[in-house]
Amino acid sequence: MNPTGPIPAIQVAAPPAELERIPLIANQRSPGWLSDKIAGVVEGKTPLWWWCAFVPSVLFLLLGAAMVAYQISTGVGVWGLGHPVMWGWAIVNFVWWIGIGHAGTLISAILFLLRQRWRTSINRAAEAMTIFAVMCAGLFPIIHIGRVWLGWWLLPIPNANGIWPQFRSPLMWDVFAVSTYFTVSALFWYVGLIPDLAILRDRAQTKARQFIYGFFALGWTGSNRHWSNYEKAYLILAGLATPLVLSVHSTVSLDFSVSQLPGWHTTIFPPYFVAGAIYSGFGMVLTLMVPLRKLLHLEEIITMRHIDVMCKVTLATGSIVGYAYAMEYFIAWYSGNPYEQWTFWNRVFGKYWYGGWAMIGFNALVPQLFWFKWVRRNLIAVFIVSILANIGMWFERFVIVVGSLYQDFVVANWGYYKPTWVDIGTYLGTFGLFFTFFLLFLRFLPLIAISEVKGVTPQADPHHPLGGAKLKRGHS
């Protein structure tokens, strides 16, 4: 017994309110509740809004398929291409869709390696968005070659003619960069799905669902051996995907920067394209997740903290893009090259002036609104800014491609490019392809990684004031 009396308890002062971080999962929800809430989206009755979105998406997909079939059977002359603009909407849309697919792998791979725990509520949807966006992008180079049935010539395989691809062509580099990016992204997405597929298998109410989910779950039991192998595979794929995030759009930018054309021939393109891709990718993630969290009643899992962080990333990358725009104009002025100066002056005061001003306004100026917390907290404002970000990035690609081509070195070669109804129909068809697959993903697979999000609950977080012992991922 202590002769001096009982030892007084140590009083730990609570941190100031402004330093307290909003929890990643609201209302201290249990792991079992998370399983029921996320899996219930897949297991429940198909909502009316899903059909209202799915039917138009399928119709747009059929429209795109009809446009592609018409173009293949007739020729690329049905597009608005012509001298001097031999690259039009096809290449613009290809680069735009590739950019859309950047956020998913960045959220899943780079943020995973950096141990950013806020990624867990949005990484699954972003990964799916990446895969579908790359599928849309891959269509345009294939049909742009004209003779689609000879597309296999792009592959480095032996043939009777003894003809090999031109490996010094940046367009050939695209084939390897985009195909590798798609393969690794799909593997990364599928490996992360395996524990959740096992949860859906165990919860299945019909034999068919149990068999299908069980088949793709690859016999997952949640044993220590399975978790160990899963974590190793996930880490390896994250390491493989990380350089791809930086390399694939850098490779796409080389389509332009290795040429001698004013407006294209610049070394700033690789980092500038990567920053723009991340900017547009996060814009699309916000465009999708802001309405989905409301429609699927996931406000407690996709919290305002997630929206706030994504807005900050959008602000950072949009500022980088704005800096790149300023440097482009400075380099054109400082170079003293009259052709460079004319090209960049023509971007904002030429025939396509609207594209130049939309590019600068939507990509460099509009995201500056995210400096204000009240804007980041206003979901309507966030949704509008995210849509403007994607519109602005499309106009950026349009200005770079068409704005640098339509006025050649000789005035007699100048022309004016405008898309045809086939161009427009094909582009709308890719939206149909994207949203058809994304809506099917929403209906049959968990939108949020159940096994990942359980690890960031207050009960699982030892650093959280409400936390206790660390919860093993997947434990329910």
What percent of the chain is modeled with pLDDT above 90?
24
pLDDT above 60 (res 236):
yes
Rounded CA gap, 433 and 62, in Å? Answer: 9
pLDDT, mean of residues 106-126: 85
Residue 461 lies in a domain: no
User: In this structure, what DSSP letter does residue 146 have?
Assistant: S
Map residue 448 onto helix, strand or coil: coil
Residue 3 lies in a domain: no
For residue 258, with 0-12 CB atoms within 10 Å meaning exposed, 13-18 middle and 19 or more buried, which class applies? middle
Say if residues 381 and 315 touch (Cβ distance below 8 Å). Answer: no
pLDDT above 50 (res 466):
no
pLDDT tens digit string along 135-178?
998 888 888 887 888 777 777 777 777 777 778 888 888 888 88
Residue 475 lies in a domain: no
Say if residues 402 and 417 touch (Cβ distance below 8 Å). Answer: yes
- The domain that holds 450 is classified in CATH as 1.20.1630.10
Residue 10 lies in a domain: no
Residue 4 lies in a domain: no
Provide the sign of the torsion angle of the four alpha carbons 403, 409, 411, 414, taken in this order: negative
Residue 112 lies in a domain: yes
What is the tally of helices (H) and strands (E) in the chain? 17, 0
Rounded CA gap, 447 and 457, in Å? Answer: 18
Alpha helices in 350-378 (DSSP H): 353-360, 373-376
pLDDT, mean of residues 343-353: 87
Instruction: Quote the crossing angle between the two packed helices 170-203 and 31-43, to the nearest 10°.
Output: 110
- Would you place residue 12 in the very low, low, confident or very high pLDDT band (cuts 50, 70, 90)? low
Number of structural domains found in the chain: 1
pTM of the model: 0.86
Structure tokens that stand for 341 in this block: 């100066």
pLDDT, mean of residues 283-301: 89
By residue range, what is the domain housing residue 254? 28-456
Structure tokens that stand for 352 in this block: 């396509």
- Would you place residue 262 in the very low, low, confident or very high pLDDT band (cuts 50, 70, 90)? confident
pLDDT at 467: 42
Residue 403 lies in a domain: yes
Residue 16 lies in a domain: no
pLDDT tens digit string along 412-447?
778 788 888 988 999 999 999 999 999 999 999 998
Rounded CA gap, 262 and 412, in Å? Answer: 18
Mean pLDDT computed over every residue of the chain: 84
